[in-house]
């Protein structure tokens, strides 16, 4: 549905295509069932509470939290030219129903906090928090947190922290910041997942070259079945883990802490003072976001797929030294 008016407000709908000071909140009981339409150029200074939310176009920004009783639909006018303009949700987004991106919608949508929904169909998104859903299909996206689903989860061309779901369908290419994930039902890896845990993310994300030192390939041999007892009942799940390969815990913890700080720095710019935050969002943030999406287009070149017995690994001084030795071996 295409709404053309700059501003319409009644008991059944609220249409905005300009700057709106404050939030869009119900003033009367019947307005709780009011649909909200955000058209190109809309800027909402507060939060949104409504029935359904339609977001059509680009250059749209919502400062406050979003809660709708029904669905959230992200779309664009058919045939609209592609640009680098974005749709930005600066706070949490929640709906018990669904968040659906139209297939023809090509512009980028950025979520600066967590997403809570029933059904999710998302693509071309940058999510700085976690995704909590009943079922989710996520493609061509970067998620700095994790994806947690009570039901089915499909991932394709995604960079993310980790995931936990009942049933998982993984399609190339998947890269994870942390080398572990969980599925309740059997998990079969038909292609290697790239674990970025041992990389120097700051160097990688700010370097013009696609460096790849420290990338570890996770394959089907890294999937283990774990059984535990809960309330006198035996339950099992399937876990992706590099536990059998970790050999230098201090080096691993140091790299994890460093990468954690990089992700927090990128996710939580609010801790910066106002002048530094403006400069960060104007310059360094755009460079980091571009580098993260380039992971999808240009995956790291150097990959560590060689398996070495624990006895051999334990003699190495550091993960990096081990990675360098493997790289030199591959050149000979």
CB atoms within 10 A of CB 73: 18
19 versus 332: which is more confidently predicted? 19
Nearest to 189 by CA among 232, 223, 238: 223
- Rounded Cα distance, 218 and 194, in Å: 6
The DSSP 8-state label assigned to residue 185 in this structure reads: S
**Does residue 1 lie within any of the structural domains?**
no
Query: Is residue 2 assigned to a domain?
Result: no
* Burial class, 37, CB count within 10 angstroms (exposed 0-12 / middle 13-18 / buried 19+): buried
**Number of domains composing the chain:** 1
pLDDT, tens digit (0-9, with 9 covering 90-100), for 249-269: 566 667 777 787 777 767 766
Q: How confident is the model at residue 2 (pLDDT cuts 50, 70, 90)?
A: very low
User: Does the pLDDT of residue 33 top 50, yes or no?
Assistant: yes
**Residue 34: Cβ within 10 Å count:** 21
Euclidean distance between CA atoms 184 and 81, whole angstroms: 42
Beta strand 180-183 pairing with 233-241: antiparallel
76-88 tens-digit pLDDT: 877 666 677 899 9
* Structural domain that includes position 162: 7-331
pTM for this predicted structure: 0.77
Mean pLDDT of 96-124: 96
| Per-residue pLDDT tens digits for 178-231 | 888 999 999 989 999 998 887 778 777 777 555 566 788 888 888 888 887 777
Contact yes or no for 38/62 (Cβ under 8 A): yes
């Amino acid at each position: 549905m295409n709404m053309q008016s700059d501003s319409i407000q009644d008991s059944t709908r609220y249409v905005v295509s300009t700057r709106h000071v404050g939030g869009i909140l119900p003033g009367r009981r019947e307005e709780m069932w009011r649909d909200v339409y955000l058209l190109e150029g809309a800027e909402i200074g507060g939060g949104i509470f409504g029935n359904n939310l339609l977001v059509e176009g680009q250059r749209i920004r919502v400062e406050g939290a979003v809660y709708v009783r029904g669905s959230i639909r992200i779309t664009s006018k058919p045939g609209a030219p592609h640009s680098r303009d974005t749709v930005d949700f600066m706070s949490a987004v929640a709906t018990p129903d669904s968040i659906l991106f139209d297939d023809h919608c090509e512009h980028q949508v950025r979520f600066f906090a967590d997403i809570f929904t029933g059904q999710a169909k998302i693509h071309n998104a940058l999510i700085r928090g976690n995704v909590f859903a009943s079922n989710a299909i996520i493609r061509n996206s970067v998620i700095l947190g994790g994806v947690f689903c009570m039901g089915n989860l499909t991932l394709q061309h995604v960079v993310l922290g980790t995931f936990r779901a009942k049933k998982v369908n993984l399609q190339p290419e998947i890269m994870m910041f942390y080398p572990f994930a969980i599925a309740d039902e059997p998990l079969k890896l038909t292609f290697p997942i790239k674990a970025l845990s041992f990389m120097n993310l700051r160097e990688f994300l700010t370097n013009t070259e696609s460096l790849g030192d420290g990338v570890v390939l996770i394959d089907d041999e890294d999937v283990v079945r774990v059984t535990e007892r809960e309330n006198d009942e035996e339950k099992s799940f399937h876990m992706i883990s590099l536990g059998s390969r970790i050999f230098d815990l201090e080096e691993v913890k140091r790299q994890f802490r460093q990468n954690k700080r990089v992700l927090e720095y990128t996710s939580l710019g609010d801790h910066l003072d106002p002048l530094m935050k403006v400069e960060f969002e104007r310059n360094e943030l755009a460079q980091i976001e571009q580098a993260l999406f380039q992971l999808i287009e240009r995956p790291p070149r150097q990959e560590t797929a060689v398996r070495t017995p624990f006895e051999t690994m334990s003699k190495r001084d550091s993960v990096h030294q081990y990675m360098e030795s493997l790289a030199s071996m591959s050149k000979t």
